A and B are shown apart, each in its own frame.
Chain A
Amino acid sequence: MMREELKIRVVKGPDGVEFEVDPLRDYFCEAPPASHPPAYAKIVEDLFNWARSHSLWILGFGTGCGAIEMRPLMTPRFDAYRYGIAWRPTPRQANLLVISGYLSVKTLKRAIRAYEQMQNPKYVVGLGSCTINGGMYWDSYNTIKRLDDYMPVDLYITGCMPRPEALLQGFEDLKKLIRAGKAEGANQYAEKFEWYKANQKQVIHDWDMPDYNW
């Protein structure tokens, strides 16, 4: 089943020449993600890891009830900016995707697209019990249960819902992981790409996007 705008169609250019457009092939890059192992000498990688851990740019993308706990972090009371955590409005610039709670199948599609548009060292944090085992939506017909099956999660923050302090603590733990060079989710995603895609397609029945969208 294809959406109307993704079907192959014939377009007339401004100079009167007619040509065929296949949106899936022409508008998206279909190359599967490649794994980029750490490339530099250890000391350089350590410097980069330090910088990465101190500049977590979160993609402003809220899914479940947990999203409401992220907002206080920007306010004077909790002020996450002093820890080098900032929010970016575009996935291109962000390097941390926070899945803040239950993920309905419809939202999962968007989350995958956003995740795939982020650039290589990228991290995923699952927020709240819904991302771990489904939480109180464990028997819902429309939400996923284990986020780990669909994208590589670096860290879970438990609770229903976790308080902002717990989030800050979680981000501090994530920083330790990054500095130790253990947060290689992006490469894991590239290496086990087929497995992730199979899992994703199992729940998303109306798959109407390219397999990999940059």
Chain B
Amino acid sequence: MDFDWMKIPYAFLTLFIVVNYGFLLNAFIQKIGARVGRRHGIPIWQNYADMFKNYGLRSSITHGVMFYLGPVFRLSGGVGLILFVPIIYGSTMFSNMSFAGDLILALYFIFFGTLGMALGAGESGHPHAAIGITRGLSQVTTAELPFALAVFSVALQYQTLSVTDIVAAQQGGVLNWTLFTNPLAVSAAMLSFLGSMMRPPFDVVIAPQEIPIGPPTEYHSSYLALMQTNRAIFPIAKIVIYMNLFFGGATDWPTFFFKVFMIYLWSAFVGVVFPRFRVEQSIRWFLIWAVPLGVLSIVMV
């Protein structure tokens, strides 16, 4: 088997672009949220300052091995996701390590980080962290359910488990996108998308402003900075999967930037309009609205 070594620097380049785009996009989305609330919002480079500050903290304490590994797992979940899906369709430079059947791997990576985080935060021993994990895992699990169903439906529809092939099948016009050929699966997945982006109405897990800040309660300095880096990578990685599966993928960077932004905007748009759900409400919401859509989409195919 011949392995193309040039892929490695290309993969790093992809990662670099994605990290920076993620940082800027996160700040931009936050700014949009702030503008809706008639605030000026954070400067666009705020996330860089926060990250440098956290890497630059001089002291840090640990609660054990898993406490170290939690953020590392989480980051590798995000990075792995990026590396194993084709970012730009048809470009040898940026399709990375994608291979046949990578869809299953991608699904696995989405969950991987959450689990690592749960173990790590559990070791911190802080009660708020434990509460955050319980909330987080139950919500993410139900939110993943419709997505998994939608993915199966799409895989059935195209008779393949390779993301590249699915993108290939959607080329040649907007009407070939899964969005139009399998609207039920896309709607189920887009509802699940809301649940995994950690924005309102489904942000009770990290509860950004209140006292129990959730799993990262005890995390600080470099641990936190690693997690921040992941917060930049992970949404993009996730959106890339959505883009590839449902919105025809991207054939060049401008299309990529635009589509990712539009998909991200969907969660921000819902987020500023609706208030927050409690966990049991959101679970019920996913089970009642999103899961039947997913089942239906499989049945239709």
Contacts and interface: CB of A to CB of B under 8 A. Distances in A.
B39 A54 contact: no
Measured as residues with beta carbon below 8 angstroms from the partner, the interface class of chain A is 20 to 34
Given A76-B37, A93-B220, A82 B56 contact: no
Interface in A13-58: 29, 34, 36, 39, 47-48, 50-52, 54-55
B62 to A, nearest CB: 11
A170 interface: no
Interface string B26-55: 000000001001111111001011111100
Contacts of B53: 48, 51-52, 54-55, 95
B213 interface: yes
B59 A54 contact: no
B220 A89 contact: no
DSSP class of B's interface residues: helix, strand, loop or mixed?
loop
Contacts of B221: 119
A81 B43 CA distance: 8
Given A93-B219, A120-B59, A121-B58, A81 B41 contact: yes
A84 interface: yes
A172 interface: no
A75 B37 CA distance: 9
B213 A90 contact: yes
A167 B58 CA distance: 27
A93 B215 CA distance: 13
Contacts, number: 92
A82 B43 contact: yes
A165 interface: no
Chain A, interface SS category: loop
A95 B49 CA distance: 13
A30 B27 CA distance: 40
A52 B216 CA distance: 20
A214 B53 CA distance: 20
Interface in A67-119: 75-76, 79, 81-82, 84, 86-90, 92-93, 95, 119
**Range class of the B interface residue count:** 20 to 34
B46 A84 contact: yes
A82 B49 contact: no
Contacts of A214: 61
Nearest to A60: B211
Given A51-B53, A82-B41, A90 B218 contact: yes
Given A87-B209, A93-B224, A121 B56 contact: yes
Contact of A48 (B38, B50, B56, B217): B56
A119 B56 contact: no
Contact of B58 (A51, A87, A120): A120
Contact of B50 (A29, A34, A55, A60): A55
B217 A90 contact: yes
Interface in B50-103: 50-53, 56-61
Nearest to B126: A90
Contacts of B224: 93
Contact of A81 (B39, B59, B212): B39
A92 B218 contact: yes
B42 A81 contact: yes
B2 interface: no
Given A89-B211, A119-B57, 7 more contacts: A54-B53, A76-B37, A76-B39, A81-B40, A90-B218, A93-B219, A120-B57
Name the 7 nearest CB pairs between A and B, nearest first: A51-B52, A48-B56, A36-B58, A120-B58, A120-B59, A54-B49, A92-B220
